[in-house]
Chain A
Amino acid sequence: MTNADRNRLKDKAFQFFGIFCTFIGLAVLAVFLIDILIDGIGRIDWEFLNNLPSRRAHRSGIYTAWIGTLWILLLTTIIAFPLGIGAGVYLEEYGKKSRMATILEINIANLAGVPSIIYGLLGLEIFVRLMALGGSLLAGALTLSLLILPIVIVTTREAIKAVPRSIRDGSFALGASKWQTVWYQVLPASFGGILTGVILALSRAVGEAAPLIVIGALAYVPFAPASPMDEFTVLPIQIFNWISRPQAAFTTNAAAAIIVLLVITFILNGIAVYLRHKWQKRIKW
Chain B
Amino acid sequence: MKLTEKIIEGLLWLSAAITILVTVGIIWVLLSESVAFFSEVSVIEFFTDTEWTPLFDVKRFGILPLLAGTFLTTAIAIAVALPIGLTIAIYLNEYADASFRAVIKPLLEILATIPTVVYGFFALTVVTPFLQQLIPGLAGFNALSAGMVMGIMIIPMISSLSEDAISAVPKSLREAAYGMGATRLQTAFGVMVPAASSGILVSIILAISRAVGETMIVAIAAGQQPRLTLNPLVPVETMTTYIVQVSLGDVPHGSLEYRTIFAVGITLFIFTFALNNISFWIKKKYQEKYD
- Check A-B contact in the complex, CB < 8 A: yes
- The answer to the question of B98 belonging to the interface, with a C-beta cut-off of 8 Å to chain A, is no
**Contact, CB under 8 Å: A120 / B33:** no
In the complex, identify which listed stretch (A15-23, A53-61, A158-166) lies at the interface while the others stay far away: A15-23
Q: Report which of B113, B124, B247 forms a contact with A265, defined as CB distance below 8 A.
A: B113
Give me 11 other A-B pairs in contact (C-beta within 8 A), A117-B244, A236-B117, A265-B113 excluded: A7-B185, A14-B184, A15-B91, A87-B18, A95-B16, A113-B275, A115-B212, A210-B215, A240-B120, A240-B216, A243-B125
In the complex, identify which listed stretch (B22-30, B39-47, B168-176, B191-199) lies at the interface while the others stay far away: B22-30
- The answer to the question of A111 belonging to the interface, with a C-beta cut-off of 8 Å to chain B, is yes
How many residues on A have C-beta within 8 angstroms of the other chain's C-beta atoms?
Answer: 86
**Contact, CB under 8 Å: B111 / A115:** no
**Contact, CB under 8 Å: A10 / B91:** no
Most chain B CB inside 10 Å of its own CB: which residue of A95, A204, A210, A213? A210
In the complex, identify which listed stretch (B55-63, B101-109, B131-139, B228-236) lies at the interface while the others stay far away: B101-109
How many residues on B have C-beta within 8 angstroms of the other chain's C-beta atoms?
Answer: 83
**Contact, CB under 8 Å: B118 / A261:** yes
Q: Complex formed: what's the CA distance from A83 to B19 in Å?
A: 10
Closest to B152 in A: A28
Chain A interface (Cβ < 8 Å from any Cβ of B): 7-8, 10-11, 14-15, 17-19, 21-22, 24-26, 28-29, 31-32, 35-36, 39, 82-87, 89-91, 94-95, 103-104, 106-111, 113-122, 124-126, 129, 146, 149-150, 153, 177-179, 203-204, 206-210, 213-214, 216, 236, 239-240, 243-244, 251, 254-255, 258, 261-262, 265-266, 269, 273
**Contact, CB under 8 Å: A273 / B114:** no
- The answer to the question of B167 belonging to the interface, with a C-beta cut-off of 8 Å to chain A, is no
**Contact, CB under 8 Å: B243 / A117:** yes
**Contact, CB under 8 Å: B126 / A31:** yes
**Contact, CB under 8 Å: A121 / B261:** yes
B219 cross-chain contacts in A, Cβ below 8 A: 210, 240
Most chain A CB inside 10 Å of its own CB: which residue of B11, B95, B118, B213? B118
Instruction: Knowing A115-B240, A120-B243, A203-B113 are in contact, say whether A24-B19 is a contact too (CB < 8 A).
Output: no
A262 cross-chain contacts in B, Cβ below 8 A: 114-115, 118
How many A-B contacts at CB < 8 Å in the complex? 244
- A to B CB contacts below 8 Å, 7 in the list: A15-B91, A18-B91, A118-B30, A120-B243, A126-B25, A261-B118, A262-B114
- The answer to the question of B206 belonging to the interface, with a C-beta cut-off of 8 Å to chain A, is yes
Closest to B94 in A: A18
**Contact, CB under 8 Å: B29 / A104:** no
Instruction: Knowing A22-B91, A86-B12, A87-B16 are in contact, say whether A116-B118 is a contact too (CB < 8 A).
Output: no
A114 cross-chain contacts in B, Cβ below 8 A: 26, 213, 269, 272-273
Chain B interface (Cβ < 8 Å from any Cβ of A): 1, 4-5, 8-9, 11-20, 22-23, 25-26, 29-30, 33, 83-84, 87-88, 90-92, 95-96, 104, 106-108, 110-111, 113-118, 120-122, 124-126, 152, 155-156, 183-186, 188, 206, 209, 212-216, 219-220, 240, 243-244, 247-248, 253, 261-262, 265, 268-269, 272-273, 275-277, 280
**Contact, CB under 8 Å: B91 / A122:** no
Q: Complex formed: what's the CA distance from A101 to B33 in Å?
A: 31
Q: Complex formed: what's the CA distance from A125 to B280 in Å?
A: 29
Closest to A212 in B: B247
How close is A218's CB to chain B, nearest CB, in angstroms? 10
**Contact, CB under 8 Å: A107 / B183:** no
